[in-house]
Chain A
Amino acid sequence: MDRARTVKAPAFLDRNWVSSCGLISGQQRGRLVLDLSGTERIDSAGVCFIELLGRMYHEQGGQFAVQGARPGIAKQLDGGKAARAVVTAAPPNEGLFLRLGGGLVSAVGVAVDAISMFAEMLYWSTIGLFRRQDIKKGAVYEQMYQLGYKAVGIITLLSFLIGVVLSLQSAIQLKNLGMGIFLVPLIGITMIRQMGPLLTAIILAGRTGSATTAEIATMVVGEEVDALRTMGINPMQYIMAPKFWAISLTMPLLSIIATAAGIFGGYVIALLYLDFNTSMFLKELVKVIKLEHILAGCFKSMVFSWLIIWVGCYFGFRVRGGAEAVGRETTSSVVVGIFIIIVANAVFSFIM
């Protein structure tokens, strides 16, 4: 049997001594006796330190004891034990497969919840309207103003700048090859089929998606959603349906505005850098643009709008907790929203 090692604690067993004594680090084997005969005061760190040492020695097969504690100190140490007795035990250390399985089950749960939210959104915004109309009068127009009209400025400006940058980069290469004339189909088709809808969707995912999540999450946290339920008002329809229709109607229009602004950016570069004139640019543009390109762009932007509002609502309704949770879900909503839009755009590029 090892001889017991005795350590004398100071008069004030506080957090400074706990950090410097070095008893926590290393192996907790053999026997350790902590002599508290000279200890007059002890702080919370000291109480927890003694409790922790006892547990660590016990778990590693060693022995730990306290001696000479004065009645006041002993009472504090007993208080520490009593307080911890009601604390829920820490979760057991799970194995790799258990954690992987748990993660998979949780991911499936999230996917099922998200899909069911999408189905509910489509139902309550369309067929569900024939069953009940829990929508406030004028809510769709209000949302169209908030989600659509107020985004026109930023979307126009950014699309114009993207059109300028895209055209400038292309024009340099095309001019070197003597194919400057191809700038018009390049910028025209790119903006109509890809950049117009995509840029609009990304801007709205950041702007509208985050606003939607923050609004709904704040309502959930403030029990406003529960209040709607107890008033017999369907919160899905009351909150989601106006947003669904507003974004479905405004997003294709915003996408057309973005496309026009981007093409205008290309026109400016063509004029300044490639010595085009207006009629030449328009003639080339009309030649390449077909109705199917415009319809494809509109269809894409319509689908993107549903994805934005779906993600925004999903993260808003799933919030649990307080203000911090609202911020966390809003961030997740923007990240996931942009990610889903880019993935959907990639899928559309293959099939359309």
Chain B
Amino acid sequence: MTKIKSLADLRKLKDEVQSKIKLRENSDNPDHVVQIKVGMATCGIASGAKETMNSFIEELEQEAIDAVVSQTGCMGFCYAEPTVEVTLPNKEPVLFGHVHKEKVREIIDVYIKRGELIDGIIPINFKTIDD
């Protein structure tokens, strides 16, 4: 593929992508896809949340799992950063702590694919935050 240098190149890329994928309806309907929020405040960034987010994006792409990976603020569990909140469709959000590369694999393989809980879940009474 040619190098992308300008917005015009990006527009071309968009057209290619658009013709390849039929736009999935579920991207408008987040209730039907796996939602992943990576804590990315100072504490998260300092402990490598950027790498965690990248591995999630890459691994999920490889596994062809429909998911929305986004970032969120600090959830108050700085000691356990990088923290990641995973919401499976129609389930309560679950927060995992100390999520580095290997843990990303484990979360995808065990929790997202099979729905089994794994070690490293933060508090039971955790509620999602809005900002």
Q: Do A and B come from one complex?
A: no
| Interface set of B (CB-CB < 8 Å, partner A) | none
